[in-house]
Amino acid sequence: MQGLALSGAPLCLLSVLAAQSNFPPPPAPTGNPVTADKALLGMALFFEEQLSSTGTVACATCHDFRAAGADRRAATARHPGPDGAYGTADDRHASPGVPARDAQGAVGNATFGHAPQVTPRRTPTVVNSGYHPALFYDGRAQQNELRDPLTNLVVLTGPVALENLVLQPPVNPVEMGHQGRTWDQVANKVAAAQPLFWASDLPGRLATFVQGASYPDLFARVFGTPDVTPVRIVMAIATYLRTLNSDQSKYDRVLAGQIGLTPLEQLGKQVFDTPRNGAVSCRTCHGEFETRVRTEGPIVGLMTMVSSGPYGSMFPTRLLFHNVGVRPIAEDPGRQAVTAVAADAGKFRVASLRNVELMAPYFHNGGARTLREAIDFYDRGGDFHVNQSPNLLPRGYTAHEKDGLEALLLTLTDPRLAQGVAPFDRPRLGSENGRFVQALGPGLPTAAGRPVIADAPLPARLGEAQFALTLSGVTPGAFSLLLFDFVGIEPSVGNYNFVVGVTPTLLCVPRGAAPAIGNVGVQHVPMPLPGDVSFRGLVLFAQWLSLEPSTEMGIVTSNGLRIEIQ
Ligand code: HEC
Ligand code: HEC
């Protein structure tokens, strides 16, 4: 019997393998081969909120596997766009990063005041990013050499677009950095941090890896010596990203000949593959349904099949960038900012449609809330036509054909993402498990629709000398009060929307007229936290109230804050 069970095991394994499309691994430079321990170190760093200068933003804050590696916060978070006004057509639906700060603390800027800044583009996925020869919407990370940010010497050559990309977010002053942050500072901060201090519910493989270790210990395990250097941080994160490959969708099983499509999905496939009313097929640009993905990985941007127009006949490389007419060029020049070629104005990299179901909102500005809205966008021939890709004309799809396209796109979802199954397993971040200062309730916006935001830029950690509370978004000069209580109440009680309990311990701190940064009224209140451990676990609620004659009530309130000292 035992012999039978043993000989059954390889068979069973074979059938599991056969169920996968098994993309070839993405290319890695010979100087940075993928190893299991290096990928785990990269995983720890990807979820490490202490990688940011505020200590509140990890790569995973914006690149969330529950949204297939994109950011579902983009459904609500807004960047007001070039006009600076909220609720207008140029708003972007994107990702909150860090507030504008210098190394000492408060700076603020004219768009967001002291509130977390929102990225100017929606966050694309990191899943399958190892397969893209050029990264970012405009393809600006595509170098074939990596330079050490400290010495500027070339340290790696080969396919290092990912390594070059990883060099950017930690020193980007919107995403994770502060003004003038250097890689030296990033590496020193990581070296001194307790790995994943804020995260909880670590997946088993990650918990085992970081258990009881410091970062120098972990770097020694992976690289042989304990030095925490910028290049090692970058190599580890890039290695982890090379393991985030999604190749187990329903469509991969179709490609492997294991199952078929439903009639509706088949209709969608036919619509996807077919030119319509002079408009090129979706397939011309989006290659995800090609049988070639099994040998080449998830390709986007096929060799051109467009034989006329500005693209000429056959192109030697994939046509990666197109202007499909999402926004006016003046709002975001896209590829043109990299190449300085006028013909590239408004072009963006073709998006991968893998797991698109989970990644709403869509396009580089997050302008389409649902897949149906994205399909309707193509159906009407896009929205802005200056320098638009030729042959993106109105298509005249029927509702049934649109249903088919939608059904087809849903076959590209890899169930492991939404389920958090490895390699897409994740811990809960400090921003999710209640250990950070939590925002409560939406607050009441000003008459101009600008959100009134209370924030604590840093986590409330015992002894944190830079801890502060901020207010942003009120009318400059508005008289503001900061309310504190040990008791909180459910948000949205009555129109005033108070979350601080009105108990005898209520403390009301008048802060006077709000100073202005640009036309945003702000407050910044330093509150250095004591180091005394008896304060650990203390919970405080705080909220701003500001006199705004323009509103019906004569006041606006910020969101509330729940502050638990950790
Ligand atoms: C505040 C949100 C935010 C954080 C934090 C963040 N990113 Fe991103 N990421 C973005 C945005 C927005 C873009 C697109 C920017 C563009 O195209 O100009 C992007 C692009 C990328 C891409 C390119 C994907 C593609 O297909 O082109 C990768 C890979 C990536 N980020 C990895 C990381 C890593 C690794 C970290 C941590 C070191 C990180 N990101 C931190 C928002 C974020
Ligand atoms: C001329 C090339 C081209 C054609 C044809 C084309 N697309 Fe696209 N598609 C793109 C580009 C480029 C983007 C990224 C645009 C952006 O982010 O602004 C994109 C983005 C998308 C997105 C959003 C993905 C995301 O995560 O943001 C969807 C969905 C999509 N396309 C579906 C389709 C469908 C369905 C068709 C056929 C009706 C089609 N596309 C035809 C080039 C094309």
Looking from the CA of residue 356, the nearest atom of ligand 2 is 26
- Between CA 227 and CA 216 the distance in angstroms is 6
Query: What local confidence, expressed as pLDDT, does residue 142 receive?
Result: 81
Amino acid 319: pLDDT? 65
Ligand 2 center–CA 351 separation, angstroms: 6
Closest CA to 435 of 553, 563, 305: 563
Q: What pLDDT is recorded for position 508?
A: 92
Whether 389 lines ligand 2, by a CB cut-off of 6 Å, is yes
From 127, 128, 136, 282, give the residue whose CB has the most ligand 2 atoms within 8 Å, as the site to mutate: 282
* CA contacts within 13 A on the Cβ side of 344: 17
Atom of ligand 1 nearest to the CA of 51: 38
Q: What pLDDT is stored for residue 66 in this prediction?
A: 97
Could you tell me if 60 and 52 are in contact, meaning their C-beta atoms sit under 8 angstroms apart? Answer: no
Using alpha carbons, select from 439, 560, 553 the residue that is nearest to residue 501: 560
Give the pLDDT score at 442.
81
Whether 242 lines ligand 1, by a CB cut-off of 6 Å, is: no
- For residue 494, the model assigns a pLDDT of 54
Evaluate: CB of 412 within 6 angstroms of ligand 2. no
Residue 268 Cα, ligand 2 centroid: separation in angstroms? 15
- Atom of ligand 2 at shortest range from CA of 361: 27
Q: Could you tell me if 352 and 382 are in contact, meaning their C-beta atoms sit under 8 angstroms apart? A: no
Q: Per the omega criterion (within 30 degrees of 0), is the bond before 423 cis?
A: yes
pLDDT score at 14: 40
| Closest to 297 (Cα-Cα) out of 146, 159, 402, 138 | 159
pLDDT (0 to 100) of residue 147: 97
pLDDT tens for the chain, 566 residues: list them. 333 333 333 443 444 444 455 788 999 999 999 999 999 999 999 999 999 999 999 999 999 999 999 999 999 999 999 998 888 999 999 999 999 999 888 789 999 999 999 999 999 999 999 988 889 999 998 878 999 999 999 999 999 999 999 999 999 999 999 999 999 999 999 999 999 999 999 999 999 999 999 999 999 999 999 999 999 999 999 999 999 999 999 999 999 999 999 999 999 999 999 999 999 999 989 988 888 888 888 877 764 444 444 344 443 345 689 999 999 999 999 999 999 999 999 999 999 999 999 999 999 999 999 999 999 999 999 999 999 998 899 999 999 999 999 999 999 999 999 999 999 999 999 999 999 999 998 888 888 888 899 999 999 999 999 999 999 999 999 999 999 999 988 765 555 578 888 888 889 999 999 999 988 999 999 999 999 999 999 999 999 999 988 788 888 999 999 999 99
Q: Residue 168's Cα: distance from chain center in Å? A: 14
pLDDT at 20: 57
Q: At 151, list the tokens.
A: 């010495």
